[in-house]
Amino acid sequence: MSRMRALSLRPSERLAPGVLFAVALVALAFASSPAHAAARPGDKLPEISLDQLTATGSAELKPTSIAAWAAGKPSLLLFALPGHRPSELEAADLRALASGLGGKLAVGLVTVPKGGITTATELRSALGEAAQGLAVFRDNGFALATAVGIGSAPTYVLADRDGTLRVVGAKALAAPVTPSGGTFADYLRGGISSGSFATLAELPVYKPNQRLVGRAFQELALPRIDVQGAGKLSDWAAKGKAVLLVFWSVRCPHCTKEMPHFASVVAKYAERLELVAVARTGDGAMEQETRQYLTSNNLGFPCLLDATGSAMDSYLVSSTPTSVLIRGDGTVLAVESGEIDNLTAWLDRHLGAAGS
């Protein structure tokens, strides 16, 4: 397996918009809250009042506690953000899971809306489909998130029938949470079936963009920076050849080091692999820097321009470079964040295993 090197991130250049928003919210929460030890698995879920969004009729927010709402059932809370694609995807997976549990698990979405969202109607509108089919709570002043040490979204917290925390910090239902590789969804189904949940004090590291693996590629339609006009990812993807989609930034030193290497390696696979880049640019000056870098390094691969960060958000990219390998039929094969020490071995392993 390729060894991935850690990245030092500069948020204004390297983080997608939804991630920046999440980081800002969390920073504000901890800056404005008194220092204290957060509750951990094995502790009791803190008794903090939340505002619950009424499910039907006129939109209202009513104070309640998680214990009162759960009514003796285990409670699973998804901390999510409005307008944040990773949160929206996870909420959809949660609805699907809950529908198969026969009402034996109290399932809710906890959110801290951005500034300007104050009423129940505004909150329901901001959450959109993420709010459908789930109990929704507003965490005023980040009180509950701070009390259980939640520092990003989406993140899950599971409390047993008596309020004992069993899991704090699971990032996705698809995330592995057991030494054998069992997912969080498997763990939840098993706990409901057996009537008890094991306490998971430690969880493996999981990156949300891993959820893209096995799914169809997400279409991108963006201006091209290497030539005049616009381009779509489907101009290359699902056309028979595999595609290596690389998200990068000219102000990311890891990226500027990697891009010529990516081009030279991919050239060796010309009959079966295309390289397509997506450059994150925040302003005209950065766009010009990107253009000059491509020209001075004689890099002729297709390069799409992501001026707003929307493409990065679509692929759940939290840092650059991030590489997404798409097989010839349009299915995502692999996702890696950071530099890949041995790109040839990484490509051989995934392309060989997929028969691409």
- Sign (positive/negative) of CA torsion 221, 86, 241, 256? positive
Whether 81 shows a pLDDT value over 70: the answer reads yes
Is residue 165 in a domain? Answer: yes
pLDDT attached to residue 355: 55
Do 234 and 189 share a structural domain?
A: no
Do 194 and 253 share a structural domain?
A: no
Do 169 and 53 share a structural domain?
A: yes
Q: Is pLDDT larger for residue 289 or for residue 226?
A: 289
Whether 9 shows a pLDDT value over 70: the answer reads no
pLDDT attached to residue 6: 32
Residues 40 and 169: beta-carbon distance below 8 Å:
no
Token pair recorded at residue 242: 């595999």
pLDDT attached to residue 356: 54
Token pair recorded at residue 92: 């959809």
Is residue 142 in a domain? Answer: yes
Is residue 126 in a domain? Answer: yes
Residues 249-263 have a mean pLDDT of: 94
Do 109 and 241 share a structural domain?
A: no
pLDDT attached to residue 163: 96
Residues 93 and 173: beta-carbon distance below 8 Å:
yes
Do 135 and 54 share a structural domain?
A: yes
The percentage of residues in the chain with a pLDDT greater than 90, rounded to a whole number, is 63
pLDDT attached to residue 116: 63
Please give the tally of structural domains in the chain. 2
Do 232 and 132 share a structural domain?
A: no
pLDDT attached to residue 14: 41
pTM of the shown model: 0.69
206, 237, 262 - which closes a domain: 206
Domain of residue 167, residue span: 33-206
Whether 100 shows a pLDDT value over 90: the answer reads yes
Rg (CA), the chain: 22
For 221-239, write each residue's pLDDT tens digit: 999 998 888 999 999 999 9
pLDDT band at 57 (very low <50, low <70, confident <90, very high): low
Do 185 and 143 share a structural domain?
A: yes
Is residue 239 in a domain? Answer: yes
